[in-house]
Structure 1
């Protein structure tokens, strides 16, 4: 006697699970412009690579004779798959089943999903659409009591942050635990107009505090809010673009802490020299230029994967490649606040450096930093605390770091270009300009008595400025070995490619192209 009847029962249950919340709720999901959970998994992983775990888990309904009449699947779909040929754990919330709430969830599926990633040391991709938390207050009647809140399994979330790359895609309204799962990641994305994230939705906010201004989901927690305050890294225009960015982010990283990232094939010559670098930095110190153009000129072509472009905008952060070697990139952006680090910029720089150090990526830092942002607003924001935290991260980093002083490096923020107590792999362009504070901002303070005693204040000020300008030449600093090398800007790419090869030799060499 075979077990064929049981296999037929299994296939029937699997077919029920594949219907998710049913045709009507699937149609409603698609009408909102959203993919369903299974389509999302198919869209982000390599074709045919997904092996689902716990597919038939859910809540069955049975006839009096004990036969199965229907199955409401769990709100989380997860399993093992490949992205670019590498194994990952991928999960997707199913909003068509009770809005993805805990009322219809099976908690062990979520904890097993998280545990699988850190246990097998493979990256985790979460696609989040719903609350995933305590559910409705109706649950209290079912339970028959209230309960002290606790997130069982959160220790697995924390362990994953310490051991494997974690990517989170917010693909709908995400509240409570769902929102927390988005934030507890190394890289997060929202879809413009489709994703919202909040501790509690508008109805709950209005019911609890009527004094708060009424806002819809987008106004309360849309991507325009959270990709500009640093809660979420990036916003995109479509789910397909979110999938592509998640796949690309993972391509720069190893599968887990303790492994090394892979080198990619590179057809961009390591000795490429761009003439435009000779004139890109203006001689007038208050004129801006495009640091992104500089990055395009010195990094492997089209390799820059910028992270967090809409927040902490005085710094450009991301991942890139040099002669195929993956690196983390930190660069000043003089087009925003002159490149001055304020609180959010410092927080963003710290996040990038910690990511690089955790996953053993060398760091390249292109510097044009006039210092920490000053003024009352900067003090109220706690700029110095966040700035020192960023500096501490750079000093704690154990991966090789190369810095290129493109223009300004002033004060404590400027000194955070690298660890001054270690070997500094550092170059400066002839446009380099540095000091404890900009000369323009310090002359009238340092020479106050001389200027007040002068017959012609303006003439005396100009004479002092001319004297100081003669000694601010970067060549004077190089004479004293205060800067290691002043280079032709066109040599930046060849020198950084050389650094990347040496850095990866130090790290133990990743997989070849």
Structure 2
């Protein structure tokens, strides 16, 4: 006697689950330019590697004889699969079933996905498309009672942030707990035209706040690419999946492993001639930091994170002779490269991310200090700046500082831990001190300038004297800077350093860092 009949019943239920919310709702979903939940999973994962768990979970309706007459699958699909042959957990909302809300969910499935990532010690990827929270008010009427809200599996969610890479994609109109799931991650991405992210949607905002906004105005890409709520913006769902794969390629599987080193075809001794003139002699002239980074790191290895938030600072991942590293650099076109409240938050979070997953950091410094002025004071820039500096000082991953030009004030001083070994190289364009001489001169010689018959002539005379004193070679004479290097030597020196850095990293494996998103 076999169990063939029961297996037939299993296959029947599996096929019903794959119909998702039904033909009409699937068609409506696709008309919005969105992939279905199963199409998303198939596109993201290596071909044929998805192993679904809980496929037949949902709500069945039965006749008097106990035969199933209808079935609505849970609107959350989960399981394991592989990305570039690395095993991951995937948890994805199905918007075609009750708009991805808790009304159509089997809560345990979402909790189980987080628990799997935690216990198997593998990355988790969330494809979020809906609220994922407590459901609509109609659900309260159906249940006949209300409840004190609890965020499902949040203990696992927070634990995962300390132990495995957590990645989220916002792939629709995402509100409430769904929005929290997107932001509670190490890397998040939105998609132009189809993604919106908000604490509460337009109708609630209209009735509660009197603000009449559509979905794009309230939480579209133009709002969030510079809000800091998400990291990156993609042009399509396929592009978003490429962002996810790229980010994951720099990450270890968990904190008990090292970041994956790959074989590089780029010469570690490559020296780019353009670097010798990359920094203009006139400090009032700007330059493009991203071009400098491209000349130093492995070809096509740079992946920027959070480009539009805190834009005076660049945070990215890259490789040196195949070794993943974190990169911090200034964008002097934005606030002259000063540390703003936003860029300070960005640096703090990025350094914490590198610390959590054992990525050495290369910090390119051209820092005029913390942003000044009334707007900066209103944002509490000093507090956020010192939080970023604290993250730098608390980090134990190997860190190398490359001084490109300015190192001034509290902000400049905080770009490396000056009380440790403090490995760093300075380019001959380096200039440093408590204040830039141009501004500091006005303060230090205020009385002399005010009493002078020709203050401009005196200003130029003093400026010339001070410029001689600020030569980086004067500092090197006193061993105030350890090495001044030819900029063209930067890549070979960093490729040598990164090998030493990776030899030290095994000592840190398994150390939990209290990462907060």
Per the shorter chain, which TM-score range? Answer: over 0.9
Query: Which secondary structure state, in structure 2, belongs to the residue aligned with residue 99 of structure 1?
Result: helix
Q: Does 1:208 align with 2:204?
A: no
Q: How does 1:226-305 map to 2 (within 5 A)?
A: 226-305=224-303
Q: Does 1:75 align with 2:72?
A: no
Q: How does 1:286-435 map to 2 (within 5 A)?
A: 286-435=284-433
Post-superposition Cα deviations, 1:319-357, rounded to whole Å, max 9, x if no partner, equal 110000010001111111110110001111111100000
Query: Which secondary structure state, in structure 2, belongs to the residue aligned with residue 257 of structure 1?
Result: coil
Q: How does 1:103-252 map to 2 (within 5 A)?
A: 103-210=103-210, 212=211, 214-252=212-250
Alignment partner, residue 10 of structure 2: 10
Residues in 2 aligned to 1:455 and 1:30: alpha-carbon distance in whole angstroms:
77
Alignment partner, residue 494 of structure 1: 492
Alignment partner, residue 61 of structure 1: 61
Question: 1:270 touches 1:497 (CA, 8 Å); kept in 2?
Answer: yes
Post-superposition Cα deviations, 1:356-390, rounded to whole Å, max 9, x if no partner, equal 00000100000111111100000001111111000
Alignment partner, residue 88 of structure 1: 88
Residues in 2 aligned to 1:444 and 1:316: alpha-carbon distance in whole angstroms:
31
Residues in 1 aligned to 2:60 and 2:416: alpha-carbon distance in whole angstroms:
59
Q: How does 1:439-450 map to 2 (within 5 A)?
A: 439-450=437-448
Question: 1:78 touches 1:113 (CA, 8 Å); kept in 2?
Answer: yes
Post-superposition Cα deviations, 1:227-282, rounded to whole Å, max 9, x if no partner, equal 20111001010000000110110010101112111101100000000000011111
Shift of 1:287: 0.7
Residues in 2 aligned to 1:247 and 1:407: alpha-carbon distance in whole angstroms:
34
Runs of 5+ unmatched residues, structure 1: none
Residues in 2 aligned to 1:450 and 1:207: alpha-carbon distance in whole angstroms:
63
Query: Which secondary structure state, in structure 2, belongs to the residue aligned with residue 132 of structure 1?
Result: coil
Residues in 2 aligned to 1:302 and 1:189: alpha-carbon distance in whole angstroms:
20
Query: Which secondary structure state, in structure 2, belongs to the residue aligned with residue 65 of structure 1?
Result: coil
Question: 1:175 touches 1:199 (CA, 8 Å); kept in 2?
Answer: yes
Shift of 1:459: 1.1
Shift of 1:455: 2.1
Residues in 2 aligned to 1:75 and 1:163: alpha-carbon distance in whole angstroms:
27
Query: Which secondary structure state, in structure 2, belongs to the residue aligned with residue 138 of structure 1?
Result: helix
The alignment covers a number of residue pairs equal to: 509
Question: 1:128 touches 1:168 (CA, 8 Å); kept in 2?
Answer: yes
Shift of 1:150: 1.6
Post-superposition Cα deviations, 1:158-194, rounded to whole Å, max 9, x if no partner, equal 1111110000000000000100000000000000111
TM-score using structure 1 length = 0.98
Report the more deviating stretch, 328-337 or 165-174. 328-337
Question: 1:260 touches 1:509 (CA, 8 Å); kept in 2?
Answer: no
Alignment partner, residue 464 of structure 1: 462
TM-score using structure 2 length = 0.97
Shift of 1:508: 3.2
Shift of 1:111: 0.4
Post-superposition Cα deviations, 1:441-485, rounded to whole Å, max 9, x if no partner, equal 111110112222322111111111111011000000111111110
Residues in 1 aligned to 2:131 and 2:443: alpha-carbon distance in whole angstroms:
56
Residues in 2 aligned to 1:417 and 1:40: alpha-carbon distance in whole angstroms:
40
Query: Which secondary structure state, in structure 2, belongs to the residue aligned with residue 508 of structure 1?
Result: helix
Question: 1:263 touches 1:326 (CA, 8 Å); kept in 2?
Answer: yes
Post-superposition Cα deviations, 1:201-252, rounded to whole Å, max 9, x if no partner, equal 0011112222x2x110000001111120111001010000000110110010
Residues in 2 aligned to 1:58 and 1:78: alpha-carbon distance in whole angstroms:
13
Question: 1:41 touches 1:91 (CA, 8 Å); kept in 2?
Answer: no
Residues in 2 aligned to 1:220 and 1:99: alpha-carbon distance in whole angstroms:
19
Residues in 2 aligned to 1:296 and 1:505: alpha-carbon distance in whole angstroms:
25
Alignment partner, residue 100 of structure 1: 100
Shift of 1:509: 9.9
Alignment partner, residue 482 of structure 1: 480
Q: In angstroms, what is the RMSD of aligned CA positions?
A: 1.2
Alignment partner, residue 514 of structure 2: none
Q: Deviation above 4 Å: which 4+ runs of structure 1? A: none
